[in-house]
Amino acid sequence: MKKSKVFWGYAVIALVLYVVVQVLISTGALNLYYQNMLITMCINIMLAVSLHIVIGITGQFSIGHAGFLAVGAYISGIFTMNLGMPFPIAILAGSAVAMLAGLLVGIPTLRLKGDYLAIATLGFAEIIRIIFLNIDYVGGAAGMLVDYQTNWTYAFVGVAITILVISNFTNSRHGRACISIREDEIAADSMGINTTYYKVVAFAIGSFFAGLAGAIYAHNFYFIQPTTFGFLKSFDILIIVVLGGLGSLSGSVIAAIFLTIVSTYLQGFPETRMIIYSLVLILVMLYRPTGLMGTKEMTDLFKFSKKGVTKA
């Protein structure tokens, strides 16, 4: 009952947020600059939360997330630009192919651990980038032009579905199995948990939503090219998850919002943008080494008691 009340509370807040922003957009109170910042924020949230299930929940160190982002972006672009399909179908296709790519890389590599897994996933992302770089059908090195079809509704719905699915998965018995793998894989295996199976499942789910983010990303920026999806993009996503707190979905969301705002407003200082951005990250990690939320969620900050709401 308590969890149901919390869920509906968040659902109402999300609906109110969507309506308010949509009204501001419809009335012209939010110009294209702020609309683009909101959509970029949503994309970063989807990327952070989808990597959170791999690193924060299952404890697998992956730095190839940009590869799944690229698959979702290019496949959705092919469906809309080359095949003339509607945008919703292109989104589903990009997400599904990204999930398939996640399965293809996950099944053989997730028996690896630590640095070896990181190197394998990084290699996969680079393979994907090189493939798109050499395929003329998608523009090759010159890139691919994509129609602008992303709007606030698509971005918001994408974020809502991502958070809802991954949150429910985390709170299910499957999620608890993944958490047990993160805490002690040997102990989990000895208790009969199929560790490889759950790691592949988490990897596939994360890949699906990274592909979803890629589809929305591609149709928001008109133009995509392989250099956009290099290993530095994977590190950008990893930074968001680590800054938010490993194991905290709420932290990933907050960090994605925070870093998007910081990065957007620092675009006016191209010479010093990365220096200031790096200093902000260093200061946060110095004073909050476990991340902004640690392993806590927003619901953990308060306890519901008979007397009312008290701090945890």
pLDDT digits (tens, 9 = 90+) for 190-209: 888 888 888 889 989 999 99
pLDDT at 56: 86
- Does 177 score more than 80 pLDDT? yes
pLDDT for 209 = 95
- pLDDT score, position 74: 94
pLDDT band (50, 70, 90) for residue 300: low
Give the residue numbers spanning the domain of 82.
42-246
Write the CB contacts of 270 (distance below 8 Å, at least 6 apart in sequence). Answer: none
The reported pLDDT for the residue numbered 306 is 43
Q: What pLDDT is recorded for position 47?
A: 94
Look at residue 96 and tell me if it is in a domain: yes
Mean pLDDT of 119-145: 87
Number of domains in the chain: 1
On whether residue 35 sits in a domain, the answer given is: no
CB 257 within 8 A of CB 41: yes
Q: Determine the 3-state secondary structure of 308 from DSSP.
A: strand
* Residue 78: per-residue pLDDT: 93
pLDDT at residue number 304: 42
Whether 235 maps to a domain, the answer reads: yes
- Show the DSSP H helices in 142-230 as ranges: 152-171, 173-183, 185-190, 195-218
**What is the predicted pLDDT for the residue at 160?**
94
Tens of pLDDT, residue by residue over 217-228, are 999 988 888 888
Mean pLDDT of 156-181: 91
For residue 234, what pLDDT band results from cuts at 50, 70 and 90? Answer: confident
pLDDT at 3: 59
CA–CA dist 28, 22 (Å, integer): 10
Instruction: Say whether pTM exceeds 0.95.
Output: no
Give backbone dihedrals phi and psi of 245, rounded to 5 degrees, phi first: 120, 120
Does any domain span residue 191?
Answer: yes
Q: How confident is the model at residue 242 (pLDDT cuts 50, 70, 90)?
A: confident
- How large is the average pLDDT for residues 270-296? 76
Domain membership of residue 303 (yes or no) is no
**Segment 149-162 mean pLDDT:** 93
Least confident of 42-51, 115-124, 290-299: 290-299
Domain for residue 260, yes or no? no
Would residue 15 count as lying in a domain? no
- Has residue 48 been placed in a domain? yes
Report the 10 Å Cβ neighbour count for 285: 15
Task: Report residue 148 as tokens.
Answer: 């602008």
pLDDT digits (tens, 9 = 90+) for 46-103: 999 999 999 988 888 888 899 999 999 999 999 999 888 999 999 999 999 999 998 8
Higher pLDDT among residues 49 and 231, named by residue: 49
Residue 302 has a pLDDT of 53
Residue 309 has pLDDT above 70, yes or no: no
pLDDT at 4: 65
Alpha-carbon torsion, ordered 10, 263, 67, 289, to 10 deg: -70
Query: Rounded to an integer, what distance in angstroms lies between the CA atom of residue 220 and that of residue 208?
Result: 19
